A and B are shown apart, each in its own frame.
Chain A
């Protein structure tokens, strides 16, 4: 989605052209079917006990779809949160601290989610 002119001009003031905007749209499109599947599945599992939930997540199709949703979701959160921080936090130091906190949190909470899915899938 980058035009040759955009590249030649140094990719605009943000130095990455439309990459951020485009990644936000890609993750949005990926998340639409994943989130619909997730909502329906969770509603159907309301009140299920531990063994039932474990059996559901241990199914490879569930595990892969859940992991895809987590990856796309946290990437989408990192991109969306970044725009919100850039728009509303005007103090340069606070802005950098906020962006770092956002990225660290997305990495940590995302990794915890993926690790849990894998641990449930491979059995404890």
Chain B
């Protein structure tokens, strides 16, 4: 399977994205279900990854102009529990996610077809179809493009880290000492900027591929319209008797992993912790509140109907001299 299979549709989507960017992401667009069909998704075939790290290097090279540039010394922050998150002296760390490393290789030693095998897994932002980091950012600093890419605008970000707290995989990483908060109340609010993979939104907008995909010598990743990628992931999983992760996690993501072993096995075998996301179940957290949407529609109708009902009932008693809708 080649990552050029869907190159035509990928380019088409890229040009579409470029138009979107040029148009300043025009205002609200209701799309509903078809929206995710316009998303660009990637399939990561774990069986093909050799863990060479070319994607990690390419990511760093392509995105280094976007990396934080903190000013030191950092402003004293209050209260004391607010911790500095400084990776500026550890920019070379590449075995976990950091503000300077948006993609890393996770490894797991598992049994495949009776043989102990080390699998390597490129890990980065999953680019959820309805990303909580974007939807719940209290400041609008995080945005989702119509091609499904979610990105944190570091010119707007205050570094409150809510995006990380609501991300099922704790993906965004904070760097203190950079960003808008320095111009506001640096001691009392904010704490830097949050950073994560933006799937090379600028390259994609120009019709190019994300750097990690282009650099991969093994063609581990395939990018294309989500329906095609979902179909390819399932076809590949059937071919190897494998499993798919990311199709439905957190309500659906635009990153689909295909593994030869169950993801429970993989999740148990990988090193997890800060900057090292899990591969376990991820419930659709946005759905919890979104399912209340109907209540928001019904409640005012019920309120108005109650008032009208009481009025009509009381009006029938008007002869008694009681004022309609009297509460006492």
A-B interaction:
no
